[in-house]
Structure 1
Amino acid sequence: MSAYGQQLIEIHRWLREELARLREGVETHLADGTGPRTGDLRAHCLAFCAALTRHHTGEDGGAFRVLAEREPALRPVLAELAADHEVVAGILSRVEELFAADPAADPGATGTPVDPRRVRAELDGLAALLESHLVYEEKKLTAALDALDPSAGTTSELLGLTPVEYAD
């Protein structure tokens, strides 16, 4: 088993790749309509949103709590990262709302069709924020996470996800 900090980096790599795939799907959908159908975009988007939320929730209640107890000097950094998580959650909520009432994505919905341009704008903002957040988190926490012993918890308990969960 690799150290927690290295697992964090692996999880972040996967999240970056999934967000890039999602953004690419939206772009091809907008460019010429040959991209994923709206329902497929919705499913991919909601799955990504759920995974990112699970990761951030896991960090807030797991790794951040453990690190705050064991490394008090990291508390200001952890507070900044937790605040970022709230901003990210707001963006994810807006993205989910864009798809929520779309009859093309959900035949039972009675709202208006999703505007992929609005989805793209939200995902572009998410990508910019998330990239700076992930880089900062890796820079500030990897060594401290790697120093934790296995009694701190499982990767899932500390980071919300495990690299195994999304392996091909």
Structure 2
Amino acid sequence: MRDGEQARLVAWSRELHSVHERLREALRVTREALADGEAAGPAARDLLVFCHGFCAALTAHHEGEDRDLFPAIAAQHPELRDTLRRLRQDHSVIGRLLAGLSAAVARGAAPVQLSRHLDGVAAIMESHFRYEERQLLTVLETLALDADPAVVLGPL
């Protein structure tokens, strides 16, 4: 295996971890936007922007995994199909939580309600990321997938 090829393979592991860190940071910034003021006026607009960006980024990340990454892993590691099924189920749950958060922001829900939505997203997201990293990072170090990481893991 050439050095460039090995670097490309190992990059999937590093890229997944990096995307997870950027999504954690996006959630932190979204929470700060909520904490910075009432859900009215400029603070509400900031929260709407941060929420939209965070929700869109997390959704794109999960769609790329479901579309490109997980099928490649399943083809090369059939023993991980149950793990991938669980991760896809998490994606569905997180998608419903994000839809609830977006709807709450759009209707101008009170900060305490928005905070509850963010807490729910944060809890399942963190649990999901940790499980995914425990189960897949080693596999991703040898995954042969010739694709753009920004397409597969999201444009963050």
- What is the TM-score with the length of structure 2 in the denominator? 0.86
Following superposition, the deviation at residue 95 of structure 1 comes to: 0.8
Q: 1:159 aligns with which of 132, 153, 156?
A: 153
RMSD between aligned residues: 1.9
Runs of 4+ aligned structure 1 residues displaced above 3 Å come to: none
Q: Does 1:129 align with 2:137?
A: no
2:37 maps to 29
Q: How many residues align?
A: 147
2:45 maps to 39
1:144 maps to 139
Identity level (%): 36
- One-letter amino acid matched to 1:7: E
Rounded to whole Å, the distance in 1 between the matches of 2:145 and 2:59 is 24
What SS is found at the alignment partner of 1:149?
coil
Rounded to whole Å, the distance in 1 between the matches of 2:111 and 2:24 is 20
5+ unaligned residues in a row in structure 2: which ranges? 1-7
Rounded to whole Å, the distance in 1 between the matches of 2:20 and 2:127 is 12
Rounded to whole Å, the distance in 2 between the matches of 1:157 and 1:42 is 25
Structure number with the bigger relative contact order (C-alpha 8 A, sep ≥ 6) is 2
What SS is found at the alignment partner of 2:133?
helix
Following superposition, the deviation at residue 23 of structure 1 comes to: 1.1
- One-letter amino acid matched to 1:10: S
* Cα distance per residue 1:53-108 (max 9 Å; x no partner): 0000000001111101110011000000000000000010001111224xxxxxxx
Q: 2:59 aligns with which of 53, 60, 76?
A: 53
5+ unaligned residues in a row in structure 1: which ranges? 102-112
Q: 1:116 aligns with which of 96, 103, 111?
A: 111
Rounded to whole Å, the distance in 2 between the matches of 1:97 and 1:66 is 34
* Kept in 1: contact 2:72–2:145 (CA 8 A): no
Following superposition, the deviation at residue 150 of structure 1 comes to: 4.9
* Kept in 1: contact 2:33–2:46 (CA 8 A): no
Rounded to whole Å, the distance in 2 between the matches of 1:55 and 1:149 is 19
1:74 maps to 80
* Cα distance per residue 1:12-66 (max 9 Å; x no partner): 0010011011112212325xx8xx6101110110111000000000000011111
* Cα distance per residue 1:126-164 (max 9 Å; x no partner): 11111111011011111111202353x221333233xxx
